[in-house]
Structure 1
Amino acid sequence: MHPIIYDVAVSLDGYIAGPNGDVTRFAHEGPVVEDYAQRMAGYRLAIMGRATYEFAFQFGLKPGDDPYPAMRTLVFSQSLALPETCDIEVFRKTDRDMLEQLKSDADGPIYLCGGGAFAGALLEMDVIDSLRLKRAPILLGSGVRLFGEGSPGVTLVCRETKDYPDGYVFQEFRVGS
């Protein structure tokens, strides 16, 4: 059984993106980004919701393209329309049994790359095993929340904390007691 890991940058006030999906205030280079790139090499499967997949279009990704060609990518959406031939897989429903089967069948850790509402749904289903948070020294005020509009109360156990000179703090948590 391989873990689902939510590995994401988050502002100190709990947002993974600002208004209109703005991520320009998060680091795009430096040690925190280099460490993230090293962690990315360890993932074997990427999962995300439709909004996160479509968010990548503004950075040049085309419908059907794989944002993570080094790993298998699954997008969960009831409405995403793609070309007949594409490099990703689309799942039309999300349920706990199917996600547990994915964890069992995966050949390594699963990267949950967002977004907030999708992560919130997975947290509510109790299928997220770890959080890897890159806490940014910024306040966004509004935008996309870490777990969407709400999340269940969950106990987290801190596994690692690393401070960076630019004010970022990386923390890894195990979900559950």
Structure 2
Amino acid sequence: MRKIIVCTFLTLDGVMQAPGGPDEDAESGFAHGGWQKPVSDDEVGTAIAGWYEHSDAMLLGRKTYEIFASYWPTADPGNPFTERMNSMHKYVASRTLTSVEWRNSTLLEGDTAEAVRRLKASDGGDINVVGSGDLAQTLMRHDLVDEYRLTVHPVIIGTGKRLFADGAIPTALEPVNVSTTKSGTVLAVYRPHGKPGYDSY
């Protein structure tokens, strides 16, 4: 069974919107695009590269797919990540796209949750969900996420799309690996572990 792994950059207050640049995603008037680079470091880059060691595919929503597809095919070939991103298989969940042109891309057909269940049951390595906030919400609602790989950066934005938005399904998490970089970024890997427990003091 293949694992679905949500890989996300977060602010300390849980915002995942537009970490990569001012023009990445200005939906709802978001004015803080590009918040990640000033609070990142080389340890974060090494961790992100490690996210892909056992994964051979990405699962993307339309917006993230379009951002990636406009950048990676013509990105610097000297960047060791360029060939990795272009050669990995990309599965795209979209209600509006009718075709996908980026190399090794496949448009999922029919109901997204059912299509992802079929992917999980297919042969292959792990599948990384990168960005794709709306898609991540769908996967969480249908209990399809096997692991979270998060970088939590020391910055507070105050507004924007959050990974664990209002209405998130209450879930206990098992810590797999948690560490902190020299810049104060928390590198955290968690797996869903049933329902939360409740008690009192």
Residues 47-106 of structure 1, C-alpha deviations (whole Å, 9 max, x = no match): 0111211233664668xxx992231101100102446x5521111433433322211214
Aligned CA distance change for structure 1 residues 32 and 99 (closer, same or farther; 3 Å): same
Residues 120-171 of structure 1, C-alpha deviations (whole Å, 9 max, x = no match): 1100000000001110111122122114554211121111111111010011
The aligned residue for residue 52 of structure 1 is 64
The aligned residue for residue 134 of structure 1 is 151
Give ranges in structure 1 of 5+ residues lacking alignment.
none
User: What is the aligned length?
Assistant: 173
- 2:183 & 2:156 partners in 1: Cα distance? 15
Would you say the 8 A contact 2:26–2:33 is kept in 1? no
- 2:188 & 2:147 partners in 1: Cα distance? 10
Would you say the 8 A contact 1:112–1:119 is kept in 2? yes
Higher fraction of helix: 2
Amino acid at match of 1:12: L
Identity rate, percent: 23
Would you say the 8 A contact 2:73–2:86 is kept in 1? no
Higher fraction of strand: 1
Give ranges in structure 2 of 5+ residues lacking alignment.
19-24, 75-82, 195-201
Instruction: Tell me how large the CA RMSD over aligned residues is.
Output: 2.6
- 2:68 & 2:191 partners in 1: Cα distance? 28
Aligned CA distance change for structure 1 residues 128 and 67 (closer, same or farther; 3 Å): same
Matching of residues 64-83 of structure 1 within 5 Å = 68-82=85-99
- 1:81 & 1:98 partners in 2: Cα distance? 16
Amino acid at match of 1:40: Y
Match of 1:143 among 154, 160, 169: 160
When normalised by structure 2's length, the TM-score is 0.75
Match of 2:54 among 27, 36, 42: 42
Match of 1:26 among 7, 11, 36: 36
Amino acid at match of 2:182: P
- 2:84 & 2:160 partners in 1: Cα distance? 22
Would you say the 8 A contact 1:132–1:173 is kept in 2? yes
Indicate the structure (1 or 2) with the bigger Cα radius of gyration. 2
Would you say the 8 A contact 1:154–1:176 is kept in 2? yes
The aligned residue for residue 101 of structure 1 is 118
Aligned CA distance change for structure 1 residues 4 and 129 (closer, same or farther; 3 Å): same
Aligned CA distance change for structure 1 residues 132 and 156 (closer, same or farther; 3 Å): same
